């Protein structure tokens, strides 16, 4: 992660270099945080894998299982904007490797937790680790972007998507076979992540802050506070529609396929994998398209563009269900990088707070959406979930009220 800079005395923090030295995209840094995002989200997704074992061993009710998820979601979502706000005011590069210690501690506690309070403590520690990682890493992605903010956010986010997809696979191969104690092995991945993030934090301190300071305000349109607040509210509404719909597929799609079409569990998992792969591809594509054509256009196409396909899905045959879900995954996933960067441009200088707010809100909406949709599935049937959720992308019409953010190049 080297970067050309004027030589400085040992231990000194280099002064900001001329603009030419801060304009290039530092792909080594972006790839490093993307890989750490993969490790982080894979570790986070291991928590649900131990629920069946915990339920039988500790004789837990579904309500107590739900409380574990709630504790995790609160620490993993509500804390994120607070961590980001603090980082905006007092940048702390070493928080990146430091945050991995919470994840390590959480997995270590969960691997030996045989009483309910310890399980809650492990879930909380795991959530805190995620809260520290996401806003700070998103700041680093912007620092290293060299102005290609959408590309940097896409590369960062796709690491998380890959981690979420690998988590269930790791759970099936290791946790299901070796049990709860095998989580201690995955805790070692936190050490690997911490070592990588230590190098990222060193670059952050010596180069990233200077790049962020020079880039701040460049090409931005100053908006009245009311317009910025309206824009943020609209973007959060779009995140709500996107992540509740995605929760319907990630949480219940296999049940839907088995119930409606009578497919095997294995076949249903293949369909889910195809959808998750499409989400990863869509995430990679969305950011660069936003850089090239404008983020508002990408948001328009991504959220509202999925509507015809979501309306068709509840009535499609098995043959067409697979292609439809792949198209929906591709289109919907392309929105998130564009939404995050658009929000960062609405509130210049608050990269950490905005990143924490949107990552935290997406976590929270995903968890809350899964809970509400599960209640609907119990009362009305699994098919009703997709008939109701089909209309969620219509919220994309609110994009018309977003302010226009033109950049002078």
d(CA 295, CA 343): 10
Residue 16: the pLDDT is 40
The string over 3-35, giving b where at least 16 C-beta atoms fall within 10 Å of a residue's C-beta and e elsewhere, is beeeeeeeeeeeeebeeebbeeebeebbebbbb
And the tokens for 253? 């799609």
Alpha-carbon distance values, 116 to 48, 129, 289 (Å):
15, 20, 47
Residue 240: the pLDDT is 92
pLDDT along the chain (409 residues), means of 10: 43 39 76 92 80 79 74 82 83 87 91 90 91 86 83 84 77 76 85 92 84 59 74 91 86 85 81 83 80 81 89 94 93 85 83 82 80 83 91 91 64
Alpha-carbon distance values, 404 to 90, 294, 356 (Å):
31, 10, 23
What value, to the nearest 5°, has the Cα angle with vertex 332 and ends 359 and 380?
Answer: 90
- CATH code of 225-402, in short, is 1.20.1250.20
Q: How far apart are the first and last CA of the chain?
A: 28
d(CA 283, CA 152): 11
Dihedral angle sign, alpha carbons of residues 347, 353, 355, 356? negative
pTM of this prediction exceeds 0.75: no
Residues 122, 44 contacting (CB under 8 angstroms) = no
Residue 233: the pLDDT is 92
Two domains, one topology: 24-218 and 225-402: yes
Residue 18: the pLDDT is 39
Query: Which residues, other chains included, contact 380 with Cβ-Cβ below 8 Å and sequence gap of 6+?
Result: none
Residue 408: the pLDDT is 39
Domain ranges of the chain: 24-218, 225-402
Q: Is 3.20.20.60 the CATH classification of the domain at 24-218?
A: no
């Amino acid at each position: 992660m080297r970067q050309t800079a004027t030589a400085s005395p040992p231990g000194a923090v280099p002064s900001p270099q001329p603009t030419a030295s801060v304009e290039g995209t530092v792909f080594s840094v972006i790839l490093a945080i993307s890989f750490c995002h993969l490790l982080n989200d894979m570790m986070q997704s291991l928590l649900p894998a131990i629920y069946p074992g915990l339920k039988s061993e500790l004789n837990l009710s579904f309500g107590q299982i739900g409380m574990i998820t709630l504790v995790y979601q609160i620490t993993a979502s509500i804390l994120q904007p607070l961590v980001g706000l603090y980082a905006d005011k007092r940048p702390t590069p070493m928080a990146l490797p430091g945050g991995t210690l919470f994840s390590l501690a959480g997995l270590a506690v969960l691997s030996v937790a045989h009483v309910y309070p310890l399980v809650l403590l492990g879930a909380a520690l795991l959530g805190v680790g995620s809260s520290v990682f996401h806003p700070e890493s998103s700041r680093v992605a912007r620092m290293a972007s060299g102005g290609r903010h959408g590309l940097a956010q896409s590369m960062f986010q796709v690491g998380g998507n890959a981690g979420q997809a690998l988590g269930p696979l790791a759970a099936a191969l290791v946790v299901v076979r070796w049990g709860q104690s095998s989580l201690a092995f995955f805790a070692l991945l936190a050490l690997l992540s911490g070592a990588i993030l230590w190098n990222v934090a060193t670059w952050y301190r010596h180069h990233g802050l200077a790049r962020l300071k020079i880039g701040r305000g460049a090409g931005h349109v100053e908006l009245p506070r009311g317009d910025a607040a309206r824009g943020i509210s609209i973007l959060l509404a779009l995140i709500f529609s996107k992540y509740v719909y995605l929760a319907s597929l990630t949480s219940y799609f296999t049940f839907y396929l088995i119930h409606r079409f009578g497919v095997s569990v294995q076949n249903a998992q293949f369909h889910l994998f195809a959808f998750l792969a499409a989400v990863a591809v869509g995430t990679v594509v969305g950011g660069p398209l936003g850089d090239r054509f404008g983020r508002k256009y990408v948001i328009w196409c991504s959220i509202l563009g999925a509507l015809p396909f979501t309306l068709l899905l509840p009535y499609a045959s098995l043959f067409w269900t697979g292609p439809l879900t792949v198209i929906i995954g591709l289109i919907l996933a392309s929105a998130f990088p564009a939404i995050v960067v658009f929000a960062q441009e609405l509130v210049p200088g608050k990269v950490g707070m905005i990143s924490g707010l949107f990552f935290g809100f997406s976590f929270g909406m995903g968890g809350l959406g899964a809970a509400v949709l599960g209640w609907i599935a119990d009362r009305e049937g699994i098919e009703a979930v997709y008939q109701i959720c089909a209309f969620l992308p219509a919220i994309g019409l609110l994009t018309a009220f977003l302010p226009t953010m033109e950049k002078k190049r």
